[in-house]
C-alpha cells in the first residue's frame, strides 16, 4: 500500500512539474513567429529564449551601444520595421491634431512652417544635442524621468526617428492604408476616421496670431518634433503670443484630447489613438504626420540583415517586443500579415 501511495505521489509531482515547466516555458510553433511581450527596453538582453527584439528609438541604439564591448551580450541592429513595411516613407507613426476652433485662424500656417523648420534644425550640424535636451527637459512633466538623455541621443538616433511634417492632405491615403492594415490585427478597434478628420490643406489668410496655445506631446521621439520650437530657435510669433509646451508620459497622452474640455489645443499622439479617439472630426482635425516610424530589430544571435527578401526566416523564431499590445507589437503583426506569415503570442 505504501509503495502504491509512493508511486502515486511521484506521478502527481511529475505531472505538476511538467505543467509548471510548460507554463513557464511556452513551446514555440515552428511554422509561426512566436511573439513575447517585454515591459521595457531593460528586458532586451541576450538570452537563449529570444532570437530577435523589436525596440523603439532611442532605446534601440542605446542597447546596441551598451552591449558592444561584450561578445556574449552584444546586440546587433539587424533591421527596421520602416523598411519591412515597404513604400518610400515607412509607416505613419505619430500625428499632430488641432482643435477645430483653431482652424478659424491662419496662425496654424505658422505652426506648420515651424514644424517643417524643426526638421532641418534637428539635422543641422550646428545644432547641439545639449540644446535639444535642454529644450525638452524644460517642458517635461514635473517628477517624470525624461527618456531622452546624453547617453542615448545622437544625430543618428534623431535620423532614425523619421521626424518630418507631412500635411494631412498629402498623407491621407497613406494613413488610411496603415489603419486598414492595423484593423486586420485588431479587428475590435474602430480605426476608420472620417474624411472630415483630415485637414484639407487651406486655412484663412486674414486672421492674426492666437492669444495663447497649449501644446502636448509624449516623451520620446514625438518630443523631438517640437524641440526647435521649445528651444526658441524657430520663430513662432505668427502662431501665438505665448505657447505652453507640455511633454508628458506616453501612457497619458490621450487624456489631454478627451473629456468635455480637453487641455490640448494642439497635440501629438500615435496615429491609431488619434483615429480611435478623434476620428469623427467633431473636436479635432489632423494637421498631418510628424514621425514615420522609429522601431528597429535587434539580435544577439545573428548579424544578418532582416529584409523583405528573407523575412520568412522569422518562422519558428521568437521575437521579444517592447510594448507588444501597443504600436510596436501591432506594427510588427501587420507587417507579418502583409507577407503571409502567421504568428502566435506567448505569455
253 and 241 in a common domain: yes
Give the pLDDT band (50/70/90) at residue 5. Answer: very low
Paired strand residues for 94: 270, 291
Cβ contacts of 214 within 8 Å, gap of 6 or more: 243, 244, 246, 263, 264, 265, 266
Q: Where are the beta strands (DSSP E) in 160-234?
A: 163-167, 213-218
| C-alpha–C-alpha distance, residues 53 and 296, integer Å | 8
Mean of pLDDT values over 3-19: 39
Average pLDDT over residues 8-12: 40
Confidence tier at 196 by pLDDT (50, 70, 90): very high
Distances (CA, A) of 341 to 186, 304, 311, 313, 338: 16, 19, 9, 10, 8
Residue-level pLDDT at 209: 77
Asked if 108 and 162 sit in the same domain, the reply is yes
Yes or no: say if 319 and 10 are a contact pair by the CB < 8 Å rule.
no
Mean pLDDT of 215-232: 96
* Structural domain ending residue among the three candidates 273, 291, 309: 291
Q: Peptide bond before 58: cis, by omega within 30 degrees of 0?
A: yes
Q: Is the pLDDT of residue 205 over 70?
A: no
Q: How many CA atoms lie within 13 A of 281 on its CB side?
A: 14
238 confidence band (pLDDT: 50, 70, 90) = confident
Taking only the tens place, the pLDDT of each residue in 260-275 is 999 999 999 999 999 9
Mean pLDDT over 294-298 rounds to: 96
Residues 223 and 100 in one domain: yes
CB 290 within 8 A of CB 268: yes
What is the CATH number for 130?
3.10.105
Is the pLDDT score of 193 beyond 60?
yes
Read off the C-alpha cell for 333: 503583426
Query: How confident is the model over 195-216, as a mean pLDDT?
Result: 82
pLDDT at 29: 78
What is the total count of domains within the chain?
2
C-alpha–C-alpha distance, residues 120 and 111, integer Å: 15
Report if residue 179 sits inside a domain: yes
| Residue 282 domain-assigned (yes or no) | yes
User: Would the pTM of this model clear 0.95, i.e. be above it?
Assistant: no
Q: In this structure, are 153 and 55 located in the same domain?
A: no
> What tens digit of pLDDT does each residue of 79-96 get?
999 999 987 778 999 999
DSSP 84: H
Q: Are residues 246 and 322 in the same domain?
A: no
Question: What is the sign of the dihedral through the CA atoms of 314, 317, 322 and 325?
Answer: positive
5 within a domain of the structure (yes/no): no
Query: What confidence category does residue 207 fall into, taking pLDDT thresholds of 50, 70 and 90?
Result: low
Residues 274, 299, single domain; the answer is no
- Of 274, 291, 308, which one is at a domain's C-terminal end? 291
| Mean of all residue pLDDT scores within the chain | 89
Rounded CA-CA distance 5/305 in Å is 57
Instruction: Assess whether 269 and 328 both reside in one domain.
Output: no
The reply to whether 236 and 284 lie within a common domain is yes
Report pLDDT for 237.
87
pLDDT at residue 264, rounded to an integer: 98
Q: Residues 67, 132: one domain?
A: no
Q: 279-292 pLDDT, tens per residue?
A: 999 999 999 999 99
Query: Given a cut of 70, is residue 3 above it in pLDDT?
Result: no
In a domain, 228, yes or no: yes
In Å, what is the CA distance from 63 to each residue of 45, 128, 145?
8, 23, 18
Task: Reply yes or no on whether the pLDDT at 19 is more than 90.
Answer: no
Taking 50 as the threshold, does the pLDDT of residue 37 lie above it?
yes
Give CA–CA dist 132/230, Å, rounded.
9
Verify that 277 and 178 share a domain, yes or no: yes
Domain membership of residue 279 as a residue range:
94-291
**Do residues 79 and 174 share a domain?**
no
My answer on whether 76 and 51 are in the same domain is yes
pLDDT score of 15 more than 50:
no
Amino acid at each position: 500500500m505504501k509503495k502504491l501511495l509512493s508511486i502515486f505521489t511521484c506521478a502527481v509531482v511529475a505531472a505538476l512539474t511538467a505543467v509548471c515547466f510548460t507554463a513557464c516555458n511556452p513551446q514555440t510553433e515552428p511554422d509561426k513567429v512566436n511573439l513575447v511581450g517585454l515591459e521595457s527596453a531593460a528586458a532586451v538582453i541576450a538570452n537563449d529564449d529570444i532570437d530577435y527584439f523589436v525596440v523603439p528609438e532611442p532605446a534601440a541604439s542605446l542597447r546596441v551601444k551598451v552591449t558592444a564591448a561584450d561578445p556574449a551580450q552584444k546586440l546587433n541592429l539587424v533591421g527596421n520595421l520602416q523598411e519591412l513595411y515597404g513604400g518610400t516613407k515607412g509607416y505613419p507613426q505619430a500625428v499632430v491634431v488641432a482643435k477645430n476652433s483653431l482652424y478659424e485662424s491662419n496662425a496654424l500656417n505658422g505652426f506648420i512652417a515651424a514644424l517643417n523648420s524643426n526638421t532641418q534644425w534637428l539635422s543641422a550640424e550646428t545644432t547641439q544635442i545639449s540644446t535639444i535636451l535642454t529644450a525638452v527637459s524644460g517642458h517635461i512633466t514635473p517628477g517624470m524621468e525624461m527618456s531622452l538623455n546624453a547617453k542615448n541621443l545622437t544625430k543618428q538616433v534623431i535620423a532614425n526617428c523619421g521626424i518630418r511634417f507631412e500635411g494631412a492632405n498629402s498623407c491621407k491615403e497613406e494613413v488610411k492604408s496603415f489603419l486598414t492594415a492595423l484593423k486586420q490585427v485588431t479587428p475590435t478597434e474602430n480605426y476608420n476616421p472620417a474624411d472630415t478628420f483630415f485637414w484639407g490643406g487651406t486655412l484663412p489668410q486674414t486672421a492674426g496670431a492666437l492669444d495663447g496655445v497649449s501644446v502636448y506631446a509624449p516623451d520620446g521621439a514625438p518630443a523631438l518634433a517640437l524641440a526647435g520650437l521649445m528651444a526658441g530657435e524657430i520663430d513662432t510669433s505668427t502662431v501665438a503670443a505665448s505657447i505652453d509646451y507640455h511633454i508628458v508620459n506616453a501612457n497619458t497622452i490621450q487624456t489631454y484630447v478627451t473629456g468635455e474640455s480637453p487641455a490640448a489645443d494642439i497635440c501629438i499622439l500615435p496615429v491609431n489613438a488619434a483615429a480611435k479617439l478623434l476620428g469623427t472630426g467633431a473636436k479635432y482635425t489632423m494637421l498631418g504626420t510628424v514621425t514615420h516610424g522609429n522601431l528597429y530589430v535587434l539580435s544577439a544571435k545573428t548579424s544578418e540583415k532582416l529584409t523583405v527578401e528573407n523575412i520568412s526566416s522569422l518562422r519558428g523564431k521568437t521575437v521579444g517586443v517592447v510594448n507588444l499590445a501597443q504600436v510596436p507589437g501591432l506594427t510588427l503583426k501587420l507587417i507579418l500579415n502583409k507577407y503571409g506569415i502567421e504568428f502566435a503570442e506567448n505569455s
